[in-house]
Structure 1
């Protein structure tokens, strides 16, 4: 009898289990549940009535799905409206909405590079950027995290070559910010493009939450392109690329994760647009999120924990081992607090962590409860 072609999966599963790396889906209910410091709803907008009502209205008007790719039937007037307002808010000439932030990074990285190009990528970049580099077929030089001099030396070693430097604006593991101003200077000197994933900056950094690039004075520059997600501060789903109009036109014509993907569902577009308008009306929300992140950091380091200083909304707290991180996160959940858990191989530096995300709608009492829970469930080193 022929061997089952997927028997190897059982061996792989056993290896994951021995290494303590098994991932498990945990469906949550619609109401109640733990205090959430694990999700990315930084401004607390995903359940705001005006956001959910806008999503429902969009579904009633345009249907439950986009019905096709953006180039066939999947573009609606709602998508175009969202693109115009998002570009204007963030300070860019144009925007292109895709079905996810992951798809946006794949689109931007692949379309702005290619076989003849050089990509200079930060070692701490998100997996979607890493995958974009792999799919691009470009030569990719991975440089040390946040090392501007390493970027400079890499670009100088390839004079005259078409190149793009790619970085997160705020890195998702430790929550630290990239040196965007210095990177932009190095790229401009070398004639290289700068592509920045501002997923964790939009809605948290900059004037009224306009993002890290706007804060650095780089929004709208000819050599600068940004990607964002609609699923964090804007409480919805989807992603977008922001940049010069000619760059956006190029993506429409060449980016495979845009051309061959079904357009973002109208409900998600409507919800994101409503959330963007809430953010414009309530520009104090980002400052509240940042303040809560600093409070969490101050309280936890005061208790003796090692935690990365938050440049935006993410607070990363070191755990003594991968097993301890998993147990810590589970104990927090059992006590009514949801936190993230990062461990090798997801973290390149080998340091296991629990990750907390501040949210503008958290009360002071919830923050105090979170700190008490984290302290009370901490593993012994």
Structure 2
């Protein structure tokens, strides 16, 4: 029998995405100025980035990158275990560990790579299992599949569901993994009850706090610290450098034995060129600012309240979130795309999120706030969203039945 033609398959898949209104396109950003973006020749106010603390263009952070690049060049020239581990990498790891209260940290090129490294290095195909929240980030879910162990998923935020899945798992090693702040919903995992579940079932508890670090809790120490937990209850957690810290890369923090094992055995760490030292210098400066500048988090909280109060007055359907991630549910893909296009015409750029990133019927606008926004900009956005909703064309009528 003849093999199926790959390009025919790709064509058919593209046609299906078009029919479902799920084709994705890249936008060309020409320039950035705070929250203002020049997109395809037009200046828009952005409410779509993860630069929650406004550090990506902060002058001390940019200066640190420029100074380090002038001294060290633009690349690390090798993997961490060959010649790529620079003193700046070590400084950043120590600063992150000190900030978050963990014995040791290990620097990775991205959060996706870090999640893959953790699961491939700690779990195997011999009966091991990873139990995860159904709405975990794709990097956690894909890491389990690539590690070859069994993936079990529990209903969103359901600690009892996690307990049932662990009880029914095989006799091998077990990991319980969750996002801290969920990137598409903006809500926070019940970490205290999940940590108890993990302890009762002798599972390693791993928290990906990509969207919590810098934003949640005292001094921005994230969801784990805010829940009153530490390395004893959460032996491993991930913090990204490309969200609230405004840069690039990620750090896995944990007890010495676990981090040492990752450094010696994790393939995505061993066989990847290390992060540029200049980028590590920028992130080091950003961490120090995040630890120091409580006003950034205070302002974010005020902006979130302004946004939600305005949305409530206009009757907009929001998910329950106290974080800078404020999803506006639209239901179907066509409505989300129409609202996004109307907002762009009004001068705003927001994230239009459709399946499979979110479940079917849960398309949304993912509106994100930054400490760089002003209250007047947030209020104006809410008014623009309400106006766009009120002026949507009616859905096409369905033909009458027999």
TM-score of the two chains, using structure 1 as the length reference:
0.95
Further displaced range: 259-268 or 237-246? 259-268
1:211-360 matches, within 5 Å, as 211-221=222-232, 223-348=234-359, 350-360=361-371
SS in 2 for 1:176: coil
CA contact (8 A) 2:79 2:272 kept: yes
Any conservation in 2 of the 1:343–1:351 contact (CA below 8 Å)?
A: yes
- The alpha carbon displacement at 1:257 in A equals 1.3
Is 1:56–2:57 an aligned residue pair?
A: no
Instruction: List gaps (5 residues or longer) in structure 1.
Output: none
Taking structure 1 as reference, are residues 139 and 361 closer, same or farther at Cα in structure 2, changes over 3 Å only? same
Once residues 298 and 104 of structure 2 are traced to their aligned partners in structure 1, the CA distance between those partners, rounded to angstroms, is 26
Give CA-to-partner distance per residue, 1:290-334, whole Å, 9 cap, x none: 332232122112211110121321101011420110121122122
Is the aligned partner of 1:204 residue 2:215?
Answer: yes
State the secondary structure of the residue aligned to 2:299: helix
> What is the distance in 1 between the residues matched to 2:13 and 2:80?
38
Size of the alignment, in residue pairs?
380
> 2: distance between equivalents of 1:331 and 1:216?
40
Give yes or no for contact 2:116–2:143 (8 Å, CA) kept in 1: yes
- Find the aligned partners of 1:133 and 1:146 in 2 and give their Cα distance: 19
Secondary structure of the corresponding residue to residue 184 of structure 2: coil
2:57 alignment partner in structure 1:
47
Moved more, 35-44 or 100-109: 100-109
Query: SS of the counterpart of 2:176?
Result: strand
Q: Structure 1 residues 8, 118: CA separation in 2 closer, same or farther (over 3 Å shift)?
A: closer
Please give the TM-score of this superposition, normalised by the length of structure 2: 0.90
CA distance in 2 between partners of 1:331 and 1:261 (Å): 42
Determine if contact 1:297/1:309 at 8 Å carries over to the other structure: no
Distance 1:298 1:380 in 2: 26
Q: Structure 2 CA distance, aligned partners of 1:109 and 1:348?
A: 25
State the alpha-carbon separation in 2 of the partners of residues 358 and 79 from structure 1.
30
TM alignment of 1:29-44, pairs within 5 A: 29-31=30-32, 32-33=36-37, 34-44=44-54
Judging changes above 3 Å, is the alpha-carbon distance between structure 1 residues 149 and 3 closer, same or farther for their aligned structure 2 residues?
Answer: closer
Tell me the distance in 2 between the aligned counterparts of 1:312 and 1:98.
25
RMSD over aligned Cα atoms: 1.8
Structure 2 unaligned residues grouped into runs of 5+: 38-43, 395-402
Q: Among 79, 95, 107, which residue is 1:69 paired with? A: 79
Q: Is the 8 A contact 1:235 1:271 kept in 2?
A: no
**CA shift digits 1:211-243 (9 cap, x unpaired):** 111111222226521011100110001111011
Task: Tell me what 2:11 maps to.
Answer: 10
Task: Compare CA radii of gyration and give the structure with the larger one.
Answer: 2
| 2:32 aligned with 1:20 | no
What SS is found at the alignment partner of 2:113?
A: helix
Distance 1:173 1:160 in 2: 33
1:78 and 2:92 aligned: no
Note if contact 1:222-1:244 (Cα within 8 Å) is conserved in structure 2. no
Question: CA–CA distance in 2 between the matches of 1:335 and 1:72?
Answer: 52
Q: Conserved in 2, the CA contact under 8 Å of 1:152 and 1:186?
A: yes
Tell me the SS of whatever aligns to 2:30. Answer: coil
1:120 counterpart = 2:131: yes
Q: Is the 8 A contact 2:79 2:274 kept in 1?
A: yes
| SS at 2:247 equivalent | coil
